[in-house]
Structures are given as structure tokens and as C-alpha cells.
Amino acid sequence: MFFYTDFKCQTVTVKFLATGVLWTDKFHGTTRRLLQLCFYTVVFFASAAKSLAQDNLNLEIHGGSKSLKTNIRRHLDITELPCNISELHLRNTLKNADTAISAALRALGYYQGSWAIDREWLAANNGNKAKNGGKKSGCWRVNVHVTAGDPTVFNEVRIDIIGAGSADPAFTDILATLPLKQGQQVNHGKYEASKKILRQRAANLGYFSGAFKEQRLAVDSERNTASATLIYESGERYRFGAIHYAPVALNPEFLRRYQTFVPGDFYDAAKLIAFQGNLINSQYFDSVSVNQSDPDPETGTVNMAVDLSLKSRFESTFGAGYSTDIGPKVSYVLKNRRFGKDGDTYQLSSQWSPVQKNAGVQLQQPGADPVKEKTLWSLGWQSEDTDTTNSSSYLAEVSQVRLLDNGWVFTRSLSLLYENYDVGDDSSSSILFYPGIDMARSRANDASYPTRGWRLSSGLRGGIEDLLSDTSFVQGTVDAKVIAPLFGGRIIGRSGLGATHVEDFSALPTSLRFFAGGDNSVRGFDFRTLGPTNDEGDVVGGKHLITASVEYDHRVYKDYSAAVFYDTGTAFDTSQFTLYESVGVGARWHSPIGPIRIDFAFPLKEGGFRLHLSMGPDL
């Protein structure tokens, strides 16, 4: 039996061959000597590294503000010198210290300042002062004693824009925001920053030939006053020129609808960035590059070249999940991103769970402004089997969705619904044709874990009997949610309201009736089990709905939170109704795929408890 072993210790490698038969004291002695050799080698290199390692020289600045000390330290730039640098080397290095300190003071407006520099050698044995030079083991410390003096103040600041830009509010409005102000202490950094801001704004607005006609900073050191003059001559403003698109399987006419400008508009870098963002967010492209040519002084224009890399035409998505409302579920979506060359897309979707099953197809057509407008044509089937109802419905719908300038999403729709449903011992079917409008908006300071935000949505729909509807009805809904910080955690409030006026309630399909109970309603009660009942005690749903919830959660460890909550609500038909209530505790895992919630809810009057498992975004 043979084995071959390498012992590597820093740069030393020892190899030996042994047998199991020769595993004797002699072998142990050899091993011991090898280990000793490794140990001494490590000690040698560690000692050498320690001897080569040096602390940095100490620099102490006495007097002046924190910002002044920082500026002096930056100008001197001696803190990287080795601690035990020779006295001759240190003395030569400090020859330029007066110039550096003077520049540091003047940069912050101190033209009357004074200072003194001394150096001292701190011996390594006890840290006491020793005379300069002499000692090899120790450290140099440089002391700078500063008296800043009275600061110099701007008594005059003149900043003007001349040329075509002088009449352009987009350019002149920036003057009020410049950091250079009359009455302020002189600060060379703010002076230079103001120049940089003017140049940058000129470039962003297309004043490519702009330049400073005058730039002057004058200081009267006797009076401690200064004046600054910046006169910027903008030149003419350039315009957008021709826009060339790389050939792709989409019509250039469609791509132009994403433009935030047209040829002939004044150049604006913000519009160019927004245009690129629109193309990226369209979901058609893997990459988008918008390149501008050099400004053409003869035409006064800047041409654009747009390079696009398309995403794959088809995309398939499989999903799986679980909630106590509908049990385990699986889903599948097939999306075609290019159903024609005008940006139309369609998707086939399906979902299966023991409670809900659905399948559908949806065609999406971009609007005249594809960033804010789209039309959806939908056709779908859904089956639902709960403890209270059993239904199968078919829905054909067309809707127009528009993002308003104020951030609200406005949707108007026209729907045709046919539904077969069993409620209690009654079986029926109904057909309804109805228009609807919806408004929704949400805001949050963080998409994954918002500590401040809100969501509000509302809808109104209704149909007329004999106009392709079995009954006349009007229905409105409002849902709201708000999140705010509290005691290091979050308080989450939720409320839902619904009201229906209907001529024949029995002809109202169960998908348009209101039920309470479940993961996102009144926890502690089964899914859709709260509401008006028939003579046999079966829940048949109600015309109206009210729910409310308040919850507090607090992070306890990394991405894990603990929560307590109170829920209340019910579905009802008349002004006489009973609110169901529950309280509970829960745990949250803010996972990479979204929050996962586990709740133990206890009905206040009915007794017992119910476990709820759900997932989904907070807003």
C-alpha cells in the first residue's frame, strides 16, 4: 500500500514516499521535522512581512472648521508617507507645505489665515517625544496650527447668459439654482461647480457652440470681499435632425410612436433619454442604443441612429403556488411579442387549482401613444367551485387602458358575460352585457418592502335589461390600502367597499355578487363563506360589501417579519347586518419572488382558528 503526499509551506515543498508497513517511529520523526520546518518558515515570512509593514505618518491639524481641516489634509497629501521616513526626506516633502496650506485656505475663502508647522519624532519604546532625527524605531508626527482669520465674502456676483439662450426659460431658470450667491463666503469649489452646471445645461439643451465670454473671480484681501463674474454666450440652439432605425421586424412608423420628439424640435437630452427608456420599457427589445452624430453647424441639427436588438418572439412562463383560499395552483402563459409588425401582441394563459380553473386569450394593441395607451381584446373561460357556490363563466371583453398625466390608470371596458351557477340548491344561468370604468393608482417608496405607500382603485359598471342582459344592475367598488412607518416597523391599513343596485338578484351571477372571508378579506373564515344565506343556511352572496383590516409588522431577523392584525367585515343585502371579526398573528418572509405570509387567525365570537398561507406584493 503506497501513498504520495505534498506538504506545502509558503515557498517550501517537501515530498516523500511511504508505505503502510514503514509507518514507524522513524517516519514519525521525519514528519515532525517537516512540520517544524514549515512552522519556522511561516514564522520567518511573518516576521519579514511585519518588518516591511509600516504605519503611515501622523498628521494633526489644530484649529479651523472640520471642512477646512479636510481641505488642508487633502492639499498636503502627506498621510501616505511611511511613519519612519527619514528626516531629510520629510523636510524636503514639507518644502511645499506652505503653498498647499495657503491654497487650501483660499479655496474656502480664508485669505487672511496664518499657520505654523512643526514635526516631532515619537519614539516607539514609550511614545515620549524625542529630539528630531536620531531614532530609527518610532514615528513622525506633523502638526499644523491654523488660524483661519475672517472669511472673505462675495459682495458682488454677476451671472449672465447672452445669445439665443438668454430668452430660453429652460436655460435661464437654472440661474436661481446655482450654488454661487452674493453674500456667501467665497468657495472656489462652488465657483467651479457653477461653471460646470452652466456648461452641462447648455450641452443638454443643444447649445453646443456655447462658451464663457468672461469668467473672473476677483478678491480684495484687504477688505475681505470678492466679486465673481460669469458671462456665458450660448450661441444658437441646435435641433433634432433625421432619425434612422436599424432594420427590425417592426414597422418604423410604429417605432416612431415611442419618440418624445420629431425632427425639427429643439434638442433636449432629457427627451433623448426618455425616448430610449420608452423603447426599453416596451418589452420588445433586449437592448436599445440611441447614438447621436456630431452637431452639424451648417444645418444646426443633430442626427440620431437607433440600434435595436429584438427579444425572442415567443416566451413561455410556468408557475406554481399555493394559498389556503384556492389550494395548490399551476399556471402557464404563452406570449407572442410580435403578432404582426405594428406592435400587436397576444398571450394564451391558463391556471388550474382545486377551486379555480381558467383559460383565455388576450390580444394587445398599442395605442397612438404606446407608452400611455393600449387596447385589450379578451376571451376567457373560468370555473369556480367553493364551499358556497359552483359556477362556470365565459367572458368576452374589450377595454381601453390609458395612463393619465397625473399617474392614474383609467380603463373603460365593454363586457359580455355568460355564466352558469349553482348557489345552495338553486341552479341558474345569466347573460349580462355591460360597460365599465375603472381608476387605479399606487405609490410606494420601495417595490419589494415598502414602508410608506398607498394603493387606491375604484370601479363602476352596469347593464340594462333587454339590452343583451337578463337584469338591470349598477355596481360600484372601492379598494384602498395604505402603509406607513411606525415604531421601527410598518402599519398596514386595508379597506374594501362594494354596493349593487339590481332589479332581480337571482339573475346576478355569482361572479358579480359579494362574499367575505379568506386570505385577503376577513382572515379566520374560509374563502367566500361570509354573506347572506338562503332558507337552508347556504351562503348565496350579497349586494353590498364592507371589509377593513389593520396590521402591524416588524422585521425580527433579516428578511423575516412578525405581524399582528385585526380584520372585520361582511357581505350583506340590507342595512341590518353583522360584522365578523378576527385577530391573529403571522410571519412574513420577504423572499426574492415576493412576500410569503403565514397567518394564524382567531374569530372573536365563533372560536377556533384558521391557518392562512398567501403570497403577493404589499401594494
Mean pLDDT of 580-594: 93
- Provide, rounded to the nearest whole percent, the portion of the chain with pLDDT above 90: 78
The CATH code of the domain at 239-310 is: 3.10.20.310
Q: What average pLDDT does the structure give for the chain?
A: 89
Question: 3-state SS of the chain: helix, strand, coil percent to 5?
Answer: 20, 50, 30
What is the gyration radius of the CA atoms in the chain, in angstroms? 38
Q: Which of 45-59, 128-142, 369-383 has the highest mean pLDDT?
A: 369-383
Q: What is the pLDDT of residues 200-218, one digit of tens each?
A: 999 999 999 999 999 999 9
pLDDT at site 448: 86
Helix (H, G, I), strand (E, B) or coil at 609: coil
Q: Which residues contact 6 (CB under 8 A, 6 or more apart)?
A: 13, 14, 15
Q: Structural domain boundaries of the chain?
A: 2-52, 58-147, 153-233, 239-310, 372-377+385-393+403-615
Q: Is the pLDDT of residue 36 over 70?
A: no
| Highest mean predicted confidence (pLDDT) among 4-8, 23-27, 141-145 | 141-145
Give the model's pLDDT for residue 44. 46
Beta bridge partners of 553: 490, 563
Range with lowest mean pLDDT among 24-38, 319-333, 553-567:
24-38
CATH topology of domain 58-147: Ubiquitin-like (UB roll) (3.10.20)
For residues 92 and 89, give the distance between their C-alpha atoms in angstroms, rounded to a whole number.
Answer: 5
pLDDT of 37 above 60? no
- CATH of span 372-377+385-393+403-615: 2.40.160.50
pLDDT at 225 over 60: yes
Q: Which one of 3.40.1190.20, 3.40.50.10090, 3.10.20.310, 1.10.3720.10 gives the CATH number of domain 153-233? A: 3.10.20.310
pLDDT digits (tens, 9 = 90+) for 227-271: 999 999 999 999 999 999 999 999 999 999 999 999 999 999 999
pLDDT digit string, tens, across residues 93-150: 899 999 999 999 999 999 999 999 999 998 875 444 444 444 457 899 999 999 999 9
Residue 358 pLDDT grade (very low, low, confident, very high; cuts 50, 70, 90): very high
Are 58-147 and 372-377+385-393+403-615 in the same CATH fold? no
Give the pLDDT of residue 98: 93
| 8 A C-beta contact, residue 492 and residue 561 | no
- Lowest-pLDDT choice from 226-230, 372-376, 446-450: 446-450
